[in-house]
Chain A
Amino acid sequence: GQQLNQSPQSMFIQEGEDVSMNCTSSSIFNTWLWYKQDPGEGPVLLIALYKAGELTSNGRLTAQFGITRKDSFLNISASIPSDVGIYFCAGKDYNQGGKLIFGQGTELSVKP
């Protein structure tokens, strides 16, 4: 079945540092999404990517849709304590009812 490999699994960083995480897939997706999950909450969409090579920003967050359509990365610049949470990449499969295939998640801890 389709799988997404997300790395790193966890990160412990100092406030103000930049963060980078990425996802690779064994198959092509037409849409890549990045979600953030706070404790006790559901995932919230951060960035959506629709075209190969697309680079999109949302405040301090920047994400890119890989040219091969099999990978994506998310960068967070100048991290702050409220960036703490679990970040998930997801590939959207339109051939299967728009279901999302999620990566394993990157748990981010930010030390003030």
Chain B
Amino acid sequence: DTAVSQTPKYLVTQMGNDKSIKCEQNLGHDTMYWYKQDSKKFLKIMFSYNNKELIINETVPNRFSPKSPDKAHLNLHINSLELGDSAVYFCASSPWGPTGQGNSEAFFGQGTRLTVV
């Protein structure tokens, strides 16, 4: 049983194309996130959704558009891909608000390695 699953795992595409990454969680969490990991392994939040509502948008170019059809899904669509978009993108989910419990912190998916050529 995969808690947070994202597809595809690998994505190679040409500059200028539009692509989507899908994410689903079966943990019943209210909040979902997209994080970007660059070539130096630095992890930075991009977006956060709570119950299908956008909570955080960390000055990400508007070529990136997240969509949450329901609280178990958060997809990421990227328009007009650029070379600098190459990175590993992680979806994560967590309960909303302070939990005080280690087993209720953010769970991450396996990542999608995006390569723009």
Q: Do A and B come from one complex?
A: yes
Which A residues contact B (CB, under 8 angstroms)?
A: 30-31, 33, 35, 37, 40-45, 47-48, 50, 86, 88, 92, 94, 96-102, 104-105, 107
Q: Are A42 and B41 in contact, with the CB atoms below 8 A?
A: no
The total of interchain contacts (Cβ-Cβ below 8 angstroms) comes to 68
Q: Are B41 and A99 in contact, with the CB atoms below 8 A?
A: no
Which B residues contact A (CB, under 8 angstroms)?
A: 4, 31, 33, 35, 40-45, 48, 50, 55-56, 58, 90, 92, 94, 96-98, 100-102, 105-111
6 A-B contacts (beta carbon < 8 Å): A50-B100, A86-B41, A88-B43, A96-B56, A97-B50, A99-B48
* Cβ-neighbour of A42 out of B45, B48, B109 (below 8 A): B109
Cα(A88)–Cα(B44), bound, Å: 12
Q: Are A45 and B98 in contact, with the CB atoms below 8 A?
A: no
Prevailing SS type, chain A contact patch: strand
Residues of A within 8 A of B56 (CB): 96-97, 99
Residues of B within 8 A of A45 (CB): 102, 105-107
Instruction: Please give me the residue from chain A that is nearest to B107 by CB atom.
Output: A45
Q: Are A105 and B42 in contact, with the CB atoms below 8 A?
A: yes
**10 closest residue pairs by CB, A with B:** A42-B108, A48-B102, A97-B55, A102-B43, A97-B48, A99-B45, A97-B56, A43-B108, A105-B41, A42-B110
